[in-house]
Amino acid sequence: MRFTDDFLRQVRDRVSIADYAGRRLTWDKRKTRPSAGDYWACCPFHQEKSASFHVLDAKGIFNCFGCGEKGDLFGLAMRLEGLSFPEAVTQMAERAGMALPKDEYENREENDQRKRLQQAAARAAQFYRDALRSSGGAEARKYLQQRGLGPDEWERFGIGLAPDEWTWVLDRLKGEGFTLEEIVAAGLAREGEEGRRAIDTFRNRITFEIGDPSGKIIAFGARALAKDAKAKYINSPETALYSKSRVLYRLKQARELLAKTKAPGLVVGEGYLDVIAFERAGIAAVAPCGTALTEEQMQLLWRSGGEPVFCFDGDAAGAESQLGGAGPDPDWETLAWLRRVTEARIADLKGDDSTAQLTREALRREIRSGPPHPFWERRLSAPWTL
């Protein structure tokens, strides 16, 4: 069976090589730094007394400085379990909860469809950007400028406007040769009920482009301009491109900034404008897309390197809710995963829109002073035994 590069990348993104290796190896506590995604153990492939087997979780690779064995997640599974490459990919895909591609023809057809959906999303993004700069974008421009965001920031952060029309982007995408089925499949429009016409997903909203780990546009977040809107923020629906539980807003850009600044780790904000404020201040930041953080998103955070800082509503309850730990039925899988990685901090930013209002130095000061994570230690006293 042949696997596309995109499929293999998705599997690697969803399965932590350190988590997989850690089920078979004992990490050297003196050399291992989980907060940095840096793991050491005695090599499983040759006899040794000191740990020379090195795993870099963020890069998804291993290297033994003793015997020279090295590779990625699939190579490690092949060596540890005596698997062929297709068997290793199959096993890791099952761990990731991903269905295997069926056959070469269907696989090619699926890839072609994904490319069309990505093209539709990219064209919609340009339409939204143009609309923000048009005569009909005055209200949206005023809102953004009140928050210190001018034309340079609109371009840099992929901010646009979905006009207050029922089929604005739908009509434009059809004019570019996209079918209704493709536009709906990309999450840009939704089918009408009971024979009614299809309509745009986003109307009268400021749009924020959401990218995959490689930076390709796969979805949008959108803030209402109308004060009486039922939902201030909405996101694209689940599509073949976009699963909001597995995506972090501006992850690609945050990883690049983290590498440049050599900061201790990523900052996790609550929303799009928070992340933009952090990034403008030179701070590598991401945000969940309208959900409490999931286990998959936690893995992305720690695999990006360093010790995350969580900046949510300015109280423990707000942070606990975003981390999946609020209410009588918390997300125990996410909380258990947090307990396993052990290191993170909470920064307390009080007040509405406070992130955007704080100065660069104030943001950095608040992040540095973030306390450890006692609230989920309390949550994890039961029912998990780890």
What are the structural domain ranges in the chain?
Answer: 5-96, 114-242, 246-379
pLDDT at 368: 55
- Is CATH 3.90.980.10 correct for 114-242? yes
Task: Print the SS3 string covering the chain.
Answer: CCCCHHHHHHHHHHCCHHHHHHCCCCECCCCCEHHHCEEEECCCCCCCCCCCEEEECCCCEEEECCCCCEEEHHHHHHHHHCCCHHHHHHHHHHHHCCCCCCCHHHHHHHHHHHHHHHHHHHHHHHHHHHHHHCHHHHHHHHHHHHCCCCHHHHHHHCEEEECCCCCHHHHHHHHCCCCHHHHHHCCCEECCCCCCCCEECCCCEEEEEEECCCCCEEEEEEEECCCCCCCCEEECCCCCCCCHHHCEECHHHHHHHHHHHCCCECEECCCHHHHHHHHHCCCCEEEECCCCCCHHHHHHHHHCCECCEECCCCCHHHHHHHCCCCCCCCCHHHHHHHHHHCCCEECCCCCCCHHHHCCHHHHHHHHHCCCCCHHHHHHCCCCCCC
**Max intra-chain CA distance, the chain:** 71
Distance from CA of residue 383 to its chain's centroid?
28
pLDDT at 326: 40
CA proximity to 116, closest of 216, 220, 8 = 216
First to last CA, the chain: 37
pLDDT at 54: 96
What is the distance between the alpha carbons of residues 221 and 233, in angstroms, rounded to a whole number? 7
Each residue's pLDDT tens digit, 1-40: 678 888 899 899 889 999 899 988 999 999 999 877 899 9
Model-level pTM?
0.71
What is the distance between the alpha carbons of residues 349 and 273, in angstroms, rounded to a whole number? 14
pLDDT at 365: 61
What is the distance between the alpha carbons of residues 175 and 177, in angstroms, rounded to a whole number? 5
* Contact status, residue 220 vs residue 202, Cβ threshold 8 Å: yes
Domain 5-96, CATH: 3.90.580.10
pLDDT at 196: 80
Domain 246-379, CATH: 3.40.1360.10
pLDDT at 119: 97
**Spans in the chain with pLDDT lower than 70:** 1, 102-108, 194-195, 305-306, 312-386
Amino acid identity for residue 293 in this structure: L
pLDDT at 352: 41
Would you say the CATH fold of 246-379 matches that of 114-242? no
pLDDT at 338: 53
Parallel, antiparallel, or unpaired for β 345-346 and 309-310?
parallel
Amino acid identity for residue 75 in this structure: G
Each residue's pLDDT tens digit, 244-270: 988 999 999 998 898 788 777 888 888
